[in-house]
Chain A
């Protein structure tokens, strides 16, 4: 290359090179500069010529060519410096290389500064450095993890030869690093080599096996449980070259786990026992379940258990039940039998709950009559008073041991827990291990306490239930024995419940009544009864009491109907009490009548004495006068005599009504009775031209007072004769109905005003001008004396029918049988 070419080449290089080039003289004046410098300075390169590099670059750029040049100017050597440039928040790096230009004297007169952008290189470098540091750190970290790990971390080659062995492995397996490395899996027990090899094959295939639970053998031969994770070790090409195994000793965890399982079983047993107990509300069965649960191996596993219940009133602890063998022989037999029968707690509980209740334990008999005064200071009483559990390990060392109990059952060590429900001690649960002498542990006590809480609430429930049952039975008994009819009717008129009185009255079974509409079954109707007390109560939503006549039930009733609401206050029906007051009403009427009679009787007796005597004298002397007089005077005397006779007749009628007449009964033929009476009234019948119709049906033989009955019937017949007009008809019938002889006397007379009907049997009630008003009263009384019944039907203008029915009495039947 000649000079010109070199010149040309240099110029081109100078012009196009990416690096910036600045040439400075010793005064740092810029002699020349290329265009590439504009990358680092905001001034056009042409304007840089001849300017002071220090000033212009300091003002317009982040790089300092003059600083790099300084060294070269002073020592004449090539200098290279790197500078960090921060432009617009972006970091970049430059490398400044300064080259000296010597004059002929060898002095450095100029300096060429080449500015090269090394940003990319620098970034790469930084990254590499960072990565290196990171790797170093990670390595250290991993190494320390591996080293410090509590887990055993072991690597092996594909043949199972140990490559690495950390401290964890030393600790867990007991082999030192030196003892393990280079050996074939020293920790795998021989019996597990095959399965281990299968794992090995899978990991070789690239699989990671996580948390395999397996066994390992320690150096000392102990077998431990480990949780193992096996992963493949790969080279850069991704080929599996070894296996890493991380294993953790979980023997202890396993132990804890077992403990947890045991606790869990205990809890579920507790839960089972308590739920079984809650299902039983029979106190005796419950107590048996409790004590069986306490003494069964499947349960709490104590040898014997006693339940004491506190009697608050008498201030004693009473032995309620004891479960357990009473001797070693019995204990042996029981355990032997249990092991043969293999009954679970579940089976036994079920047996107690549903099987026949037996109380065959001899041990129990020791307990039953035991009473310990609460005033004594012993462990049992303290359990109650202090609400505390006690675990007496040695009864001889405990001065407060329960001597009486020990004399009875004998024990060396026992424990007691209070049964507390709602802050009240219901009793004490006593347990011991008399036969196997197993000490009672804290664990046992904890379980026992937990158990006792369930027991207490179950006992409380059972007791409450017993009370409820008793009360319910009492109520049921009362309900059933009420002689009044009690009927529970729901809103839809359906009978929901009744007592015995109802089925007795209706002559139907309980089943035939329940579920049917009340109006159908009680009143024989197709729709609600107009007088229905249930209906009235429903309408008013309030209790309702009323006296009603019910022809279907046949009587007069006081009905008391009360609404029933459920707990939400919803009306659900009514309870109706029907008290049959028919008899009461009759009695009441009779009382009223006899009160009236009594008052009347007093009057009558006075009348008898005060009036009859003067009447007798009056009439008697009038008769004497009449015999001795003539003409008008004789007639006057006769009038006096007749009037006195009439007065005496009225007086007799009144008195016979008031009098308590003795009934002199005899057997009579009703037909003959009627015929006798008809003979008596025949003149009157003929006189009024009355048609007499006589219908004599089957009438049997009556046991009555013929005179009284004659009087009774005569009164009615007389009334009939008086009531009918001339040419009227009187019908007299005799027939049998409902084991009674009925005398029916019907007339076609004027009838009785409806308003008068209720009073016709009252004394002194009369519609006739000439009447004492006692006829029907006397008739009524005579019929009543014969336990008979009198009814009247009457319609004004049509006529009146009286029916007297007289029951055939037992004497009557006896006689009839005799005769028959």
Chain B
């Protein structure tokens, strides 16, 4: 359906899989990473069209990763996807969107669709 590639960065392997399966069901190509180092490697290697990025990762925080991704490709849309609402704590994020994780992925999917359509 689409040749778009999503990079899912989350240390929770269940969520990683859930996202992967859901997005694949929607026709995206999905690559995953479980930590910061892996995320940056995958980003380099896979050249995704969009990234969903968790903040709390075992080796480095999501903001650090976001900055490095944006340095490499300022135009790539990144959705911060977190268990805790950090929006007010990090107001000047350069991420395109922010979402609090939910078992209902409709909002996230809508967001991806919208960002990729631009």
> Cβ of A624 and Cβ of B83 under 8 Å apart?
no
Chain A, interface residues (CB within 8 Å), range: 20 to 34
> Cβ of A616 and Cβ of B84 under 8 Å apart?
no
**A623-B56 contact in complex given A613-B83, A616-B15, A659-B85, C-beta closer than 8 Å:** no
Check if B103 is an interface residue, CB within 8 A of chain A.
yes
CA distance A605 to B85 in the complex (A): 10
Check if B104 is an interface residue, CB within 8 A of chain A.
yes
Please, which residue of chain B has its CB at the minimum distance from the CB of A664?
B88
Residue numbers in B under 8 Å from A644 (CB-CB): 103
> Cβ of A612 and Cβ of B18 under 8 Å apart?
no
- Encode B91-108 as 1/0 by CB contact (under 8 A) with A: 100000000111111000
Residues of B at under 8 Å CB distance from A? 12, 14-15, 18, 21-22, 56, 83-85, 88-89, 91, 100-105
Residue numbers in B under 8 Å from A495 (CB-CB): none
Check if A520 is an interface residue, CB within 8 A of chain B.
no
Q: Apart from A609-B84, A612-B100, A618-B103, what are 7 other A-B pairs with CB-CB below 8 Å?
A: A612-B84, A616-B12, A616-B102, A621-B14, A624-B22, A645-B103, A655-B85
Please, which residue of chain B has its CB at the minimum distance from the CB of A614?
B14
**A656-B85 contact in complex given A609-B56, A617-B14, A621-B18, C-beta closer than 8 Å:** yes
> Cβ of B84 and Cβ of A648 under 8 Å apart?
no
Residue numbers in A under 8 Å from B15 (CB-CB): 613, 616-617, 620
> Cβ of A608 and Cβ of B83 under 8 Å apart?
yes
Check if A90 is an interface residue, CB within 8 A of chain B.
no
- Encode A647-676 as 1/0 by CB contact (under 8 A) with B: 010001001100111100000000000000
| A residues 562-585 in Cβ contact with B at 8 Å | none
> Cβ of A623 and Cβ of B84 under 8 Å apart?
no
**A617-B83 contact in complex given A612-B101, A623-B103, A661-B88, C-beta closer than 8 Å:** no
CA distance A308 to B111 in the complex (A): 95
Residue numbers in B under 8 Å from A783 (CB-CB): none
CA distance A609 to B11 in the complex (A): 11
**A620-B22 contact in complex given A609-B56, A613-B12, A644-B103, C-beta closer than 8 Å:** yes
CA distance A648 to B105 in the complex (A): 13
Residue numbers in B under 8 Å from A656 (CB-CB): 85
From B18, B84, B85, B89, A617 is in contact (CB under 8 Å) with: B18
Residue numbers in A under 8 Å from B12 (CB-CB): 613, 616-617
* A159 shortest CB reach to chain B, Å: 139
Residue numbers in A under 8 Å from B85 (CB-CB): 655-656, 659
**A623-B104 contact in complex given A609-B56, A616-B15, A656-B85, C-beta closer than 8 Å:** yes
| A residues 588-624 in Cβ contact with B at 8 Å | 605, 608-609, 612-624
- Which are the 6 A-B pairs with shortest beta-carbon distances? A619-B103, A617-B14, A662-B88, A612-B83, A608-B84, A620-B18
6 contacts between A and B (CB under 8 A): A609-B83, A620-B105, A623-B104, A624-B22, A645-B104, A659-B88
| A residues 165-204 in Cβ contact with B at 8 Å | none
> Cβ of A652 and Cβ of B83 under 8 Å apart?
no
* B117 shortest CB reach to chain A, Å: 24
CA distance A617 to B12 in the complex (A): 9
CA distance A622 to B101 in the complex (A): 15
> Cβ of B56 and Cβ of A616 under 8 Å apart?
no
* B28 shortest CB reach to chain A, Å: 16
CA distance A620 to B106 in the complex (A): 11
Please, which residue of chain A has its CB at the minimum distance from the CB of B87?
A662
> Cβ of A652 and Cβ of B103 under 8 Å apart?
no
Check if A19 is an interface residue, CB within 8 A of chain B.
no
Residue numbers in B under 8 Å from A622 (CB-CB): 103
CA distance A623 to B83 in the complex (A): 19
CA distance A624 to B15 in the complex (A): 13
From A616, A641, A661, B18 is in contact (CB under 8 Å) with: A616
* A740 shortest CB reach to chain B, Å: 26
Please, which residue of chain B has its CB at the minimum distance from the CB of A618?
B103
Residue numbers in A under 8 Å from B100 (CB-CB): 612, 652
Residue numbers in A under 8 Å from B103 (CB-CB): 615-620, 622-623, 641, 644-645, 648
CA distance A618 to B104 in the complex (A): 11
